[in-house]
Amino acid sequence: MIARRFLLSYLAVIMVTVISLAVIVRLATAQTFSRYLDDEAAAHAEMLPVMLAGYYAAHGTWEGVQPNIGQAAMLISGQVVLADAQGRIVAASQPDLVGQSISDDRALGTAIPVIGSGGTTVGIVYVGRSVTQRRADAGFLANTTLALVAAGLLAALLAAGLGMLLAHSISRPLAEMSQAAMRIAQGDYEVRVSPRGRDEVSALAVAFNQMAEGMGSVEGLRRDLVANVSHDLRTPLTVIRGYLEGLRSGEIADRRSAEKAFAAMHEEVVRLLALVDDLGQVASLDAGTPQLERRPTALVDLADTVSRRIEPVAMAKGVTLANQVSAELPPASVDPRRLGQALYNVLENAVRHTPAGGQVTISAGHLTGHDAGACPVWLAVTDSGEGISAEHLPHIFERFYRADPARSRQRAGGAGLGLTIARGIIEAHGGQITAESEGAPGRGSTFTIRLPL
């Protein structure tokens, strides 16, 4: 449909252009040819009257002038008619006109008066095109018109062929994208189109492929979200259900067992509430920039507060915490509660992936000069843990992503939202967070938080 409409529009423009050009060229040719004939007659107007005036002055009459008229007609290759002062033809290149009176001088050609020696008009000579010449003139204009029509038709055919090729080259990738879009609507996010060339249609194809890839990623994240949330909800609910059934059936009858059951159920409820809270924070961060209560905050105090919160977890695992943040750093305008949560999430991730006997270090600094950029303040969390391989490094801030698939279903592995929340909070502050790792066991990882002053 697009190709047909484009081709018809293209042909309509070509036909209008060709017809307009043919009409303009035809009129211009006729005017130029007529001007040429007028210029030729003007040249004759300067020659014939002088010659005939001399003849009349020499003979005093027009008798015997017929041979001169014949020679003049042969010289100018046209029709010459001479009439006396009374309007009677006395000589002509067509002898059958001699003796006739002139009734319509327009049919004879251009009228040129012959002035005698006394200044009186002694005759009128008419210079025009002969019948044969007029036929040739008409044939010339007809052939010119025919040539213009033939050239126009040839140009229209060539334009139609080029238009078909052009329309096909434009409509084919659009049709492919239309079919690919229908397949995407049916859930096939692996479909791609092939860009051809470097024009706008090819740029559209590249953008279409990027859109399809993005939609595929979003669909994969959606499936992972459903699967992970289902699992993370099912596990504690299954534990709670088991204890409740034990209490109801009487299998848990003594007080000590009941207290253990209630403690376990309370722990699972806390875990569920934490998961729901994390999901709520992710939704809030996705919806837009959260409200931040900024105030000047000393980074050393923030690091101390967060270290004390995570220290019991680190001690239980045998991991050493080291706070190397200097008290001389200038304060940063941040929301201490929000930024503390982000730093806690990063530290908790580092402790979880550091084996017993390892160390997690918090450091900070303030860049100056050209290297400072828009975020001169930095906080870094470095661990001596297992490291992150290169294939997982670009995805660690994605929700529910776990670099170690073996731990993806272990309850100790977390819900996979901590780093996602940390990134959202830091970006809400106008900062950024990056991760670096050599990917080798024992070489650890470094998470760097950059913040504006």
The pLDDT value given to residue 347? 92
Q: Per the domain annotation, does 175 fall within a domain?
A: no
Mean pLDDT of 423-430: 87
DSSP 78: S
**What would the two tokens of residue 432 be?**
């950024």
Is residue 249 domain-shared with residue 313, that is, in the same domain?
A: no
Is residue 278 domain-shared with residue 307, that is, in the same domain?
A: no
- pLDDT at residue 413 is higher than 50: no
Is residue 115 domain-shared with residue 241, that is, in the same domain?
A: no
Question: What's phi and psi for 65, nearest 5 deg?
Answer: -85, -10
Select from 286, 309, 342 the last residue of a domain.
286
CB atoms within 10 A of CB 397: 18
Is residue 278 domain-shared with residue 317, that is, in the same domain?
A: no
Q: Per the domain annotation, does 209 fall within a domain?
A: yes
Is residue 238 domain-shared with residue 320, that is, in the same domain?
A: no
Select from 251, 266, 286 the last residue of a domain.
286
Residue position matching structure tokens 């004879």: 108
The pLDDT value given to residue 411? 46
Is residue 223 domain-shared with residue 296, that is, in the same domain?
A: no
CA atoms of 259 and 146, how far apart (whole Å): 109
| CA nearest to 222, candidates 392, 395, 400 | 400
CATH number of the domain at 205, please. 1.10.287.130
**Entry pTM:** 0.53
For the stretch 176-209, pLDDT in tens is 888 888 888 888 888 888 887 777 778 888 888 8
Cα–Cα–Cα angle for 224, 352, 325, rounded to 5 degrees: 120
CATH number of the domain at 110, please. 3.30.450
For the stretch 105-114, pLDDT in tens is 666 777 888 8
Is residue 121 domain-shared with residue 46, that is, in the same domain?
A: yes
Q: Per the domain annotation, does 20 fall within a domain?
A: yes
- pLDDT at residue 54 is higher than 70: yes
Select from 221, 254, 286 the last residue of a domain.
286
Mean pLDDT of 140-157: 80
CA atoms of 19 and 234, how far apart (whole Å): 78
- Total domains in the chain come to 3
Q: Per the domain annotation, does 170 fall within a domain?
A: no
Cα–Cα–Cα angle for 158, 162, 165, rounded to 5 degrees: 145
User: Of residues 370 and 360, which shows the higher confidence score?
Assistant: 360
Is residue 444 domain-shared with residue 316, that is, in the same domain?
A: yes
Buried b (16+ CB within 10 A) or exposed e, 172-210: ebeebbeebeeebeeeebebebebeeeeebeeebeebbe
Whether 260 contacts 239, CB under 8 Å = no
Mean pLDDT of 338-356: 89
| CA nearest to 174, candidates 199, 151, 154 | 199
For the stretch 239-290, pLDDT in tens is 888 889 888 888 887 888 888 888 888 888 888 887 788 777 777 777 766 6
pLDDT band (50, 70, 90) for residue 304: very high
> CA of 123: how far to CAs of 51, 69, 89, 108, 251, in Å?
12, 13, 9, 15, 147
Q: Per the domain annotation, does 255 fall within a domain?
A: yes
Question: How much of the chain exceeds pLDDT 70, in percent?
Answer: 86
User: Of residues 160 and 440, which shows the higher confidence score?
Assistant: 160
The pLDDT value given to residue 318? 92
Q: Per the domain annotation, does 183 fall within a domain?
A: no
Is residue 423 domain-shared with residue 297, that is, in the same domain?
A: yes
Is residue 109 domain-shared with residue 17, that is, in the same domain?
A: yes
What range defines the domain where residue 282 resides? 200-286
Supply the Cα-derived Rg of the chain in whole angstroms: 51
The pLDDT value given to residue 176? 83
User: Of residues 100 and 74, which shows the higher confidence score?
Assistant: 100
- pLDDT at residue 451 is higher than 90: no
CA atoms of 66 and 55, how far apart (whole Å): 11
CA atoms of 105 and 108, how far apart (whole Å): 5
Q: Per the domain annotation, does 156 fall within a domain?
A: no
**Top mean-pLDDT range of 53-67, 348-362, 369-383:** 348-362
Is residue 418 domain-shared with residue 301, that is, in the same domain?
A: yes
CATH number of the domain at 391, please. 3.30.565.10
Is residue 38 domain-shared with residue 61, that is, in the same domain?
A: yes
Q: Per the domain annotation, does 371 fall within a domain?
A: yes
Mean pLDDT of 40-67: 79
